[in-house]
């Protein structure tokens, strides 16, 4: 193992060094990362959800600076338009469009897919970044718990609807922004959606984020041969409006060591832009431009069985009311 890898592993074990800006800065310097401005993404079409704030906003601006053609997605049309205009003005890239969709509303997800398919003849990267941690239990219009609806079911449906276009644009990528919070959560299928009595926002969020990471591996395994690369990642801890709103005490106490939004978004942009490891590997879970284990605790590892994975996939395909793209056996 080379020295850089040893230092990287040493700072990964304590979560505070790994997830904070210290982890980002140390790894960036150690590995002499390629600056993101050096990537030329002209001619590549990228759809990015959760683009109006925080990590997604920072990623969108960097991708626009690299010349990508962008479809920005958020729930509010005016906010989307303001974001797209601000990014065009900051970067000079006039290939930045936007579309309003709530990722937890399956009809809106279908309209979004129709829009992308009609407006662009290729899709190089689909980024599932939209997400929130909600303190009280909410449900989507079809009755699915809202965190699961918007961060697991909606993205599953969108990937499914865009699969043929992604394949036609291969090598293409589907990227999912998960969270280090998922390390605490076992894989749950029957308990994926918490009920009113037991609901705790942080637990529900961690369960959904765990499901995202497992499904990412399953997508890679099940449709990877179609030339589409699937990767998930977590951003560490970054200062964003979402963190301020959901975890105000955490944001106040940890403020000085939190990453900037751009630092949190760095690996997402790199996974979208770099043609090395992100295309040469599939199904990875990343932090700071390096693959990381998806389990750190024996209990969560034990929960991750082939049977539970298969049941998770079929539950989400059922909730998404879509044709299951997988007809084989694991």
Ligand X SMILES: NC(=O)c1ccc[n+]([C@@H]2O[C@H](COP(=O)([O-])OP(=O)(O)OC[C@H]3O[C@@H](n4cnc5c(N)ncnc54)[C@H](OP(=O)(O)O)[C@@H]3O)[C@@H](O)[C@H]2O)c1
Please indicate whether residue 39 is annotated as part of the active site.
Answer: no
Give, in order, the Cα–Cα distances in Å from 8 to each of 78, 164, 282, 292. 42, 38, 22, 11
- Residue 19 Cβ, how far from ligand X at the closest point, in Å? 8
Instruction: State which residue, 26 or 150, has the beta carbon closest to ligand X.
Output: 150
- How many residues would you count in the chain? 330
Query: Between 55 and 94, how does the x/- string for binding to ligand X read (CB under 6 A)?
Result: xx-----------------xxx--x---------------
Span from 3-11, 32-40, 97-105, 215-223 in contact with ligand X (CB under 6 A): 97-105
Q: Pick from 235, 278, 283, 284: which binds ligand X (CB under 6 A)?
A: 235
CB burial readout 92-111, b (16+ within 10 A) else e: ebebbbbbbbbbbbbebbbe
- Residue 49 Cβ, how far from ligand X at the closest point, in Å? 6
Tokens of 60: 């969108």
Q: Is 152 in the site for ligand X (CB under 6 A)?
A: no
Residues in region 247-286 near ligand X by CB under 6 A: 264
Q: Pick from 23, 54, 283, 284: which binds ligand X (CB under 6 A)?
A: 54
- Residue 219 Cβ, how far from ligand X at the closest point, in Å? 17
- Residue 108 Cβ, how far from ligand X at the closest point, in Å? 8
- Tell me the HSE value of 210 on the side-chain side, using a 13 A CA sphere: 28
CA distance 39 to 49: 21
Instruction: State which residue, 169 or 193, has the beta carbon closest to ligand X.
Output: 193
How many binding residues for ligand X (CB under 6 A)?
Answer: 31
Residues in region 158-217 near ligand X by CB under 6 A: 177, 179
With contact defined as beta carbons under 8 Å apart, do 128 and 174 qualify? yes
With contact defined as beta carbons under 8 Å apart, do 88 and 51 qualify? no
Q: Pick from 150, 169, 216, 232: which binds ligand X (CB under 6 A)?
A: 150
Span from 3-11, 22-30, 102-110, 312-320 in contact with ligand X (CB under 6 A): 102-110
Q: Pick from 238, 251, 272, 312: which binds ligand X (CB under 6 A)?
A: 238
Q: Pick from 18, 129, 172, 232: which binds ligand X (CB under 6 A)?
A: 129
Catalytic sites, residue numbers: 205
List of residues contacting ligand X (CB under 6 A): 49-56, 74-76, 79, 102-104, 129-132, 150, 177, 179, 234-235, 237-238, 240-243, 264
């Amino acid at each position: 193992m080379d020295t850089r890898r040893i230092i990287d592993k040493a700072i990964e074990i304590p979560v505070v060094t790994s997830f904070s800006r210290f982890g980002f800065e140390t790894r960036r310097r150690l590995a002499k990362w390629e600056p993101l401005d050096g990537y030329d993404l002209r001619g590549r079409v990228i759809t990015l959800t959760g683009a109006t704030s925080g990590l997604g906003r920072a990623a969108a601006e960097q991708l626009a600076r690299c010349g990508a053609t962008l479809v920005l997605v958020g729930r509010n049309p005016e906010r989307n338009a303001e974001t797209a205009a601000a990014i065009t003005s900051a970067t000079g890239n006039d290939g930045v469009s936007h579309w309003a969709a709530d990722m937890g509303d399956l009809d809106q997800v279908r309209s979004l897919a129709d829009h992308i398919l009609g407006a662009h003849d290729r899709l190089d990267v689909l980024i599932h970044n939209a997400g929130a941690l909600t303190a009280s239990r909410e449900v989507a219009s079809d009755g699915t718990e809202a965190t699961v609806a918007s961060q697991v079911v909606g993205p599953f449906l969108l990937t499914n609807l865009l699969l043929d276009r992604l394949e036609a644009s291969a090598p293409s990528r589907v990227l999912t922004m998960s969270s280090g919070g998922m390390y605490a959560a076992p894989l749950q299928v029957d308990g994926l959606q918490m009920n009113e009595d037991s609901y705790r926002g942080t637990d529900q969020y961690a369960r959904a984020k765990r499901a995202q990471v497992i499904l990412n591996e399953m997508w890679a395994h099940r449709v990877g041969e179609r030339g589409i690369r699937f990767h998930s990642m977590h951003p560490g801890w970054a200062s964003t409006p979402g963190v301020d709103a959901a975890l105000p005490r955490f944001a106040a106490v940890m403020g000085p060591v939190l990453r900037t939004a751009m630092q949190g978004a760095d690996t997402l942009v790199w996974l979208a832009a770099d043609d090395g490891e992100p295309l040469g590997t599939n199904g990875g879970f990343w932090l700071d431009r390096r693959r990381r284990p998806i389990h750190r605790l024996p209990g969560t590892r034990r929960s991750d069985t082939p049977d539970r994975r298969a049941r998770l996939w079929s539950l989400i395909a059922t909730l998404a009311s879509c044709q299951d793209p997988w007809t084989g056996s694991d």
